[in-house]
Amino acid sequence: QSVLTQPPSVSGAPGQRVTISCTGSSSNIGTGYHVHWYQHLPGTAPKLLIYGNNNRPSGVPDRFSGSKSGTSASLAITGLQAEDEADYYCQSYDSSLSGFVFGSGTKVTVL
């Protein structure tokens, strides 16, 4: 079981807004460690979407945004597009484990 909890799946129609939650604890997100987000299509390399809670790397559309509060973080996708169908993972650091931790992953389906 993953240290960071995400919903298994979310879905939305094209153009809609969806959000993915990432719930941690006092030993990771709640301590103040940053949260990062990745998009992963099966058979390909995971792609960095958001770093440092709410920063987008160059080339990532501004439809993707991140936020963090307390022991949780969220990824929002606005103006959902068919190409956004993928698995999404949050990532942080855990002081109890002394290592990096990932969320359980969320599959986004565009209806």
Partner 1 sequence: EVQLLESGGGLVQPGGSLRLSCVASGFTLSSYVMSWVRQAPGKGLEWVSEISGSGGSTRYADSVKGRFTTSRDNSKNTVYLQMNSLRAEDTAVYYCARKFSGGDGWFDPWGQGTLVTVSS
Binding site for partner 1 (CB under 8 A): 2, 33-34, 36, 38, 40, 44-48, 51-52, 57, 89, 91-93, 97-105
Distance between CA atoms of residues 24 and 61, nearest Å: 26
Our CB check for partner 1 shows the closer of 22 and 110 to be 22
CB nearer to partner 1: give 99 or 111. Answer: 99
- Smallest distance, partner 1 to C-beta of residue 20, A: 13
Least CB distance from residue 74 to partner 1, whole Å? 17
Phi, psi of 102 (to 5 degrees): -115, 155
DSSP state of 62: T
- Cβ proximity to partner 1: between 16 and 95 the closer is 95
Rounded-to-integer distance, Cα 61 and Cα 26, Å:
31
